[in-house]
Copies of this chain bind each other. A is one copy, B any other.
Amino acid sequence: MEVDTIRVFAPATVANVVCGFDVLGFAVNEPGDEVVMRLKNRPGITISKITGDDGKLPYNPFKNTVSVSVKHYLDHIGRSDVGLDIELHKKMPIGSGLGSSSASTVAGLFAIKNLLGDTSDPSTLLPFVMKGEEMACGHGHADNVAPALMGGFVLIRSYQPLEVIRLPYPKDLFCAIVFPQVDVPTREARQIIRNKILLKDAVTQWGNIAGLISGLYTNDIELIGRSMEDVLIEPVRAMLIPDFYKLRDIAMKSGAVSFGISGSGPSVFAFAKDPETAKQINQKIQAHLTGIGINSYQYVSSINGEGPRVLD
């Protein structure tokens, strides 16, 4: 019996990872998005259901990033004849800085790849997910896309040509994420960043990214923590996040290895050496946010080494 329906999960991602603006990202096990895809008898792509998006995402298949990416892929492999229906189940907030659009797009592309029996490495889908991100965010930055697709911790060594490198990471590194429910659109979060920076700050930054990469290769969690400082982007974006420095203080005092902004925010994340510490960090951060009248979601997860996966 040929499979004609598939359900796929793709993970949320933390991009930038504090000192790796635009070049580092990792995937988490929770949250993530789900896509249900059904092959149909006649050509054309439809979207029959979207849940969890508060009505924000378009059903028009020419405007939804998932369907646009899938169509781009089908055209590329010469299978424009394929007809299919998409259900998109958002299991994470939109505009959270957790790679929400990447997760949906990766889920869609991984679904069609599997439905068509394409056994090539998922990383071959990278250009198609990038296309979707360009549409969603106005730029095709791979630091959310690549970890969502390939899992684990990844480095975008180069954008032209695109070169993605899988990095090792300590297995006992846990990620605490809190999403404060305030609005920070990606486009605007990018616009407030200065185009020109001081060379001396850049030197500090690349010393740190080099330290972080070393720490990942040597399983040195303390070095990873010391290296996760951002003198360039964080001081600007921190303004968009309520009580950011207070939240950092709370996280570090609760045992965090490091703390920073996930992607363009407003989600913040911390690394911790065990899930209990990660949970405590989140509880204290949420309590502080509640105290200043801000609702939040929280997630605790290890790093997702797998990327998207077929469910059921």
Tell yes or no: A121 within 8 A of B by CB.
Answer: no
Q: Quick one: closest B residue to A21, CB to CB?
A: B203
Tell yes or no: A24 within 8 A of B by CB.
Answer: yes
Given A165-B223, A227-B157, also A197-B202 (CB < 8 A): yes
Residues from chain B with a CB closer than 8 A to the CB of A163 are 211, 226
Q: How far is the CA of A33 from the CA of B263 in the complex (A)?
A: 49
Q: Quick one: closest B residue to A24, CB to CB?
A: B210
Q: How far is the CA of A158 from the CA of B210 in the complex (A)?
A: 10
Please tell me if the beta carbons of B199 and A155 are within 8 angstroms of each other in the complex: no
Residues from chain B with a CB closer than 8 A to the CB of A155 are 207, 210-211, 214
Please tell me if the beta carbons of A207 and B167 are within 8 angstroms of each other in the complex: no
Residues from chain B with a CB closer than 8 A to the CB of A196 are 196-199
Tell yes or no: A39 within 8 A of B by CB.
Answer: no
Residues from chain B with a CB closer than 8 A to the CB of A214 are 155, 157, 165, 167, 213, 217
Minimum CB–CB distance from A165 to chain B (whole Å) comes to 5
Q: How far is the CA of A200 from the CA of B141 in the complex (A)?
A: 12
Tell yes or no: A56 within 8 A of B by CB.
Answer: no
A-B residue pairs in contact (CB < 8 Å), sample of 12: A22-B203, A22-B207, A155-B211, A156-B207, A157-B211, A158-B226, A163-B226, A196-B197, A197-B197, A199-B232, A213-B217, A217-B218
- A interface list, Cβ under 8 A from B: 20-24, 155-159, 163, 165, 167, 193-200, 202-211, 213-214, 217-218, 223, 226-227, 232
